[in-house]
Structure 1
């Protein structure tokens, strides 16, 4: 499967743009061939017009020289334009393939990869691959052809100068590559330090009240000055290499040209070439430096691109979700809302081999049962919810709804079965109605209005300038409590039989919490509700409380039974009463 994604993307871009591909080949040939013609014209002008003092055809030759230079510019422009267009098309194909992969990728991938890491695959790595095509392999091919053409042209004039040129190429390339390596190293250091400077500024702004409270202004200033000083040092290093590289190349070019002129003089006549050949050779030698300099940069781009290709291929080779039966419909699984049975069949789960998060969980829930999972942080409560929704696959065992494994349910059907609410509300681009429907065309406006009315937000939304059509582009439009009510509306809008509540009152004040709990109590009459709560006193009335410890079920039963039989539960309730009294 190695490089299959890249090859497929390049293949699609080329086959779908045959005309552009042919134009690119034509432009490359044009650039290489036309760049070798001006020295030949110059040689002819000097030897046949200037030396014998003849003006015949001089105007025509001068015009030809100008036209060829113009053609070189046109071919180069066409080459760069076509490369840019094809490069963008390749980038588009790669990103489309990656997005399709992202939709199929196993949820375990996101447990070990942050959003920043995933985004960098789509941006930095794909851009590096794009540079492989636009300024890497194609550019190197063009520059190599130019070098070969220049060396052959010089060799035709004089085999001795040709030998000198062959010796000159590795020397110039070595100097160029060494400077580029040093500059790249300094630039990487500079980027790291710029990141530190920017991070220090954002951290200072974020924690400004704490900094002032503890009189840490001078400490933060000193750190900032140190980061800035280190940054300036790397900038100076980059500028130093950049400033001395050009004079070194210019001096080398001048020495080589002076050497050719001296060796071609009447006194020495070591090279045995005409004055026109000398002029043409000087121009060819001058043209020799640009492609050598470009080759060093192109190799650098290729090295970066290879790293990008590896990372993109690693992403593309990530494990995918198992095949789900697309013809499996929610209404077929749940024909009667009053007969929804959720079963945990000896499930175990681990993110890493040998480290169980959950172990041998067995539960059978009755229709419309209210179950609360409690336990210390890190015992696996949220992981259990991800397993219930089929986002993760158990390492062992299964979770079933009316006998159907939840992991096999198509994602498109899950919203009709599960309503999920966590402690933070994620705003999407769009209107208030979009926040509830998530732009799902199957959800009607009437359903969204009904959900808003259920959670008690209908009057507030109607008071907004455009009601449900108000664009939500600010976090200030809704309070924290209202956002949580919106989250509940989003969860219940499809009237799913099962609601999953993950610490929904964790960040709310007591008055808002009471309102949220009352809405959830209203919803509890027609739903199976599974909730996670650290504060047992704030949870909705539960039929069953499941205490998790070390990934296992330590105890389970009604709140009344546990209050009598479980020391941990009893002490936890007592501690909460003491804390909130």
Structure 2
């Protein structure tokens, strides 16, 4: 775990909780020491009181026996309480470190990892690591100390019983290693399958309306059953090894105790020990197998934690966004809207090596120019927008605004340069005003009101019970069209000079679409607008239309010129008119 996220988190917690660590060490010592005393007291009671039948002094040893057991319970309670507190602190610190990592992680990570997989790492894997401290490695350390103490105590009673005990330990270790390898493999498989299962549930809930509309319930159910069955098989493996391990230990313990009783009998008298020593040895042997049996459960928790640690360390090793070199504020890039020059210089991009999504894109936009990107689905239009926003970095080439590489602009400054609108409007917990500002304290009330008015939502918002201060408790407060208008208001609230519109009218009826298009027509007078349109006949008025095909610019020009010169563009316009007539 050298220089790992988990090591950093544990180190931070230990430094902040020195007092708890001291209490934990004291409690562990108390548990180990007090657990070894009762057999010694039992030997004394039998040899000095019960065998000679002297009950005069039995009360004090009996009280001491009960008292020591009570202290063992107290020490064990303190140990578990401190472990729980420390475990929760470590869990919190790990999740905080992971969230900070998530903020720095490269956007390409989200192209290859589903939300369910990421959530599984934050929840299931971290919980597994928590068990490493609450019932894993510390418990194993305590049990190992108990084993050492028990072996020493037994050896003091009888070297022959001590030899028998020592012969048992390698067998127990071999059995532990046998199960360890198989349980670790099963646990890693289980973690992967839990992530897939979570992702399937997340996707089902996200697309539930589409699933019902297209009667795909049975398909999703079968897919869910398969994920569940695969996960069940891995859990079954872990449970099988665990269920076999415990009975094996119990049977071995019974055989060893029976052997000690037989060897201590008057007929054989092989061990040559007193009756008190026999009773104490039996209790110690029982106590010997108890920690060995516990090791099985602790081993399972440790295997879960190891698989969780591996996945979290893999997450921690994911590439991060490179530090942004441009440190000046956005106002120095764009001093007025008449000087916005967005340029794409030989932009090539690939998610995977050897598969180019975009290739050699060269474009130059004038201030307040309106440009629309069209093309078949999967041609790379949305990817191009992510590159323009500086979310993704071109594999080759560069995208600049007034000569500054957009990828080198800090994300905190981009909202004052770009306004982005797509088909969805993710809600946050908060008021209507906070849906627009996203709780950015630098955005004033006046800016929010101006954005609401610009989007044509002023009358609707004023009709709400508390206006802009109305708390949004569910997405049913707004219609689909209103959500799209709110998305526009969110994009323009900082008055960025460039708007990017990603198929924002794709899921709207014609009346709502006309209203939104009219708002965007108004916006086109003040902003440089880049849009992606799925329907050529209803896109906002554009100065230039860029046709993408196979990741390249196939053609570009004004709508009028393309209507005459480009057969693909002309045929799609005609087809849409025929479809919607």
Which position in structure 1 is the counterpart of 2:522? 522
State the alpha-carbon separation in 2 of the partners of residues 281 and 274 from structure 1: 10
Which position in structure 2 is the counterpart of 1:290? 290
Which position in structure 1 is the counterpart of 2:137? 137
State the alpha-carbon separation in 2 of the partners of residues 493 and 541 from structure 1: 23
Q: TM-score, normalised by structure 1?
A: 0.90
- CA shift at 1:98, angstroms? 1.5
Q: Structure 1 residues 226 and 504, CA, compared in 2 at 3 Å: closer, same or farther?
A: closer
Q: Structure 1 residues 235 and 304, CA, compared in 2 at 3 Å: closer, same or farther?
A: closer
- In 2, are the aligned partners of 1:3 and 1:313 still within 8 Å (CA)? no
- Aligned pairs for 1:382-421 within 5 A: 382-421=382-421
- CA shift at 1:404, angstroms? 1.0
Which position in structure 2 is the counterpart of 1:256? 256
Q: Structure 1 residues 404 and 250, CA, compared in 2 at 3 Å: closer, same or farther?
A: closer
Q: Structure 1 residues 248 and 11, CA, compared in 2 at 3 Å: closer, same or farther?
A: closer
- Greater mean deviation of Cα atoms: 258-267 or 24-33: 258-267
- Greater mean deviation of Cα atoms: 96-105 or 407-416: 96-105
Secondary structure of the 1:530 match is strand
For residues 406-441 of structure 1, what are the alpha-carbon distances to aligned partners after superposition, in whole Å with 9 as ceiling and x for unaligned?
Answer: 111111110001000001111111111111111111
- CA shift at 1:507, angstroms? 0.4
State the alpha-carbon separation in 2 of the partners of residues 373 and 40 from structure 1: 85
- In 2, are the aligned partners of 1:499 and 1:530 still within 8 Å (CA)? yes
The answer for unaligned runs of 5 or more in structure 1 is none
State the alpha-carbon separation in 1 of the partners of residues 138 and 347 from structure 2: 54
- In 1, are the aligned partners of 2:368 and 2:526 still within 8 Å (CA)? yes
- CA shift at 1:208, angstroms? 5.7
Which position in structure 2 is the counterpart of 1:100? 100
Which position in structure 1 is the counterpart of 2:30? 30
- Greater mean deviation of Cα atoms: 507-516 or 59-68: 59-68
Which position in structure 1 is the counterpart of 2:277? 277
- Aligned pairs for 1:359-370 within 5 A: 359-370=359-370
Secondary structure of the 1:132 match is helix
- Greater mean deviation of Cα atoms: 99-108 or 232-241: 232-241
Which position in structure 1 is the counterpart of 2:441? 441
State the alpha-carbon separation in 1 of the partners of residues 111 and 221 from structure 2: 37
- In 2, are the aligned partners of 1:480 and 1:508 still within 8 Å (CA)? yes
- CA shift at 1:164, angstroms? 1.9
Which position in structure 2 is the counterpart of 1:469? 469
- In 2, are the aligned partners of 1:139 and 1:298 still within 8 Å (CA)? yes
- Greater mean deviation of Cα atoms: 363-372 or 297-306: 297-306
- Greater mean deviation of Cα atoms: 167-176 or 484-493: 167-176
Q: Structure 1 residues 466 and 388, CA, compared in 2 at 3 Å: closer, same or farther?
A: same
State the alpha-carbon separation in 1 of the partners of residues 234 and 357 from structure 2: 46
State the alpha-carbon separation in 2 of the partners of residues 273 and 366 from structure 1: 100
Q: Structure 1 residues 209 and 395, CA, compared in 2 at 3 Å: closer, same or farther?
A: closer
Q: Structure 1 residues 211 and 509, CA, compared in 2 at 3 Å: closer, same or farther?
A: closer
Q: Structure 1 residues 474 and 563, CA, compared in 2 at 3 Å: closer, same or farther?
A: same
Q: Structure 1 residues 210 and 100, CA, compared in 2 at 3 Å: closer, same or farther?
A: closer
Secondary structure of the 2:345 match is strand
- CA shift at 1:228, angstroms? 10
- In 1, are the aligned partners of 2:183 and 2:300 still within 8 Å (CA)? no
The answer for unaligned runs of 5 or more in structure 2 is none
State the alpha-carbon separation in 2 of the partners of residues 161 and 80 from structure 1: 33
- In 2, are the aligned partners of 1:428 and 1:438 still within 8 Å (CA)? yes
- CA shift at 1:55, angstroms? 3.0
For residues 258-302 of structure 1, what are the alpha-carbon distances to aligned partners after superposition, in whole Å with 9 as ceiling and x for unaligned?
Answer: 332222122321110011111111111111122111212222322
State the alpha-carbon separation in 2 of the partners of residues 65 and 267 from structure 1: 32
Which position in structure 1 is the counterpart of 2:507? 507
Which position in structure 1 is the counterpart of 2:306? 306
Secondary structure of the 1:33 match is helix
Which position in structure 2 is the counterpart of 1:424? 424
- In 2, are the aligned partners of 1:45 and 1:276 still within 8 Å (CA)? yes
- In 1, are the aligned partners of 2:184 and 2:303 still within 8 Å (CA)? no
Secondary structure of the 1:345 match is strand
State the alpha-carbon separation in 1 of the partners of residues 65 and 310 from structure 2: 46
- In 2, are the aligned partners of 1:36 and 1:149 still within 8 Å (CA)? yes
- In 1, are the aligned partners of 2:184 and 2:307 still within 8 Å (CA)? no
- In 1, are the aligned partners of 2:197 and 2:228 still within 8 Å (CA)? no
- CA shift at 1:391, angstroms? 0.5
- Aligned pairs for 1:311-330 within 5 A: 311-325=311-325, 327-330=327-330
State the alpha-carbon separation in 2 of the partners of residues 5 and 226 from structure 1: 34
- CA shift at 1:304, angstroms? 2.6
State the alpha-carbon separation in 1 of the partners of residues 521 and 232 from structure 2: 61
Q: Structure 1 residues 235 and 23, CA, compared in 2 at 3 Å: closer, same or farther?
A: closer
- Aligned pairs for 1:444-463 within 5 A: 444-463=444-463
For residues 34-85 of structure 1, what are the alpha-carbon distances to aligned partners after superposition, in whole Å with 9 as ceiling and x for unaligned?
Answer: 1101101111111112222223432221111111111111111111111111
The reply on whether 1:266 has 2:256 as its aligned counterpart is no
Secondary structure of the 1:293 match is helix
